[in-house]
Amino acid sequence: MKLLLDFPTVGEPHYAQACPAELLEKNSVRIFKLEQNKHPYAVKAEKDARVERKCNEVHVYMTTIRSHFAPDNIEGIKVGDVVYFHVTNLEQDWDIPHGFAVQGAQNGELIIMPGETQTLKWVPQRPGIYPFYCTDFCSALHQEMQGYVRVSSSAMSVPLSFSTGK
Ligand SMILES: [Cu+2]
């Protein structure tokens, strides 16, 4: 394809290219098969969702499916911890990506395709209650897709705990 014009754009999604749909259609991946997901931090069932501490690293093995995250309530994270949210999208339906963001993250957000696992690193800076939420409109109950993390000061000894839907 011949390049007609190349220039940077700031804040406007007009940087588009056109090509025949049949070139893309046959190569597009619509669903990642969950049973083929080999991600080392994948969880393939909600019952396996959990939170584990390794020194000051906290690994959240999270699942998402319309219209909730599991777990959606986490306590026992402290200032000084490095938190890894490993989020697996359990959907096996076309066009149901879920997003993931946590308040105060210094990086971006995740967009997780059906059957896929992605990781977001988060270093909470101060004690508080931090919401996390789905950032991709996924269904009528999209606004329900949220949860909370309690971050305590490093001097506290709040045990790690997590739950879903309580
Ligand atoms: Cu969602």
Ligand 1 midpoint to CA 47 (Å): 19
166 pLDDT exceeds 80?
yes
* Polymer length in residues for the chain: 166
Please check whether residue 85 is in contact with residue 62, taking contact to mean a CB–CB distance below 8 angstroms.
Answer: yes
Residue among 142, 141, 132, 126 at smallest CA distance from 109:
132
Please check whether residue 79 is in contact with residue 127, taking contact to mean a CB–CB distance below 8 angstroms.
Answer: yes
7 pLDDT exceeds 80?
no
Domains of the chain, residue spans: 31-163
Ligand 1 midpoint to CA 64 (Å): 7
For 36, the 3-state DSSP assignment is helix
Ligand 1 midpoint to CA 82 (Å): 24
Structure tokens at 144: 């329900």
Ligand 1 midpoint to CA 11 (Å): 25
Q: How far apart are the first and last CA of the chain?
A: 55
10 pLDDT exceeds 70?
no
Residue 136 DSSP symbol: S
Ligand 1 midpoint to CA 147 (Å): 12
> In which band, very low, low, confident or very high, does the pLDDT at 47 lie, cut at 50, 70 and 90?
very high
Those residues whose beta carbon sits under 5 angstroms from the ion ligand 1 are 98, 134, 138, 145
Ligand 1 midpoint to CA 2 (Å): 38
Residue 79 DSSP symbol: T
What CATH number is given for 31-163 in this structure? 2.60.40.420
pLDDT tens per residue across span 112-141: 999 999 999 999 999 999 999 999 998 889
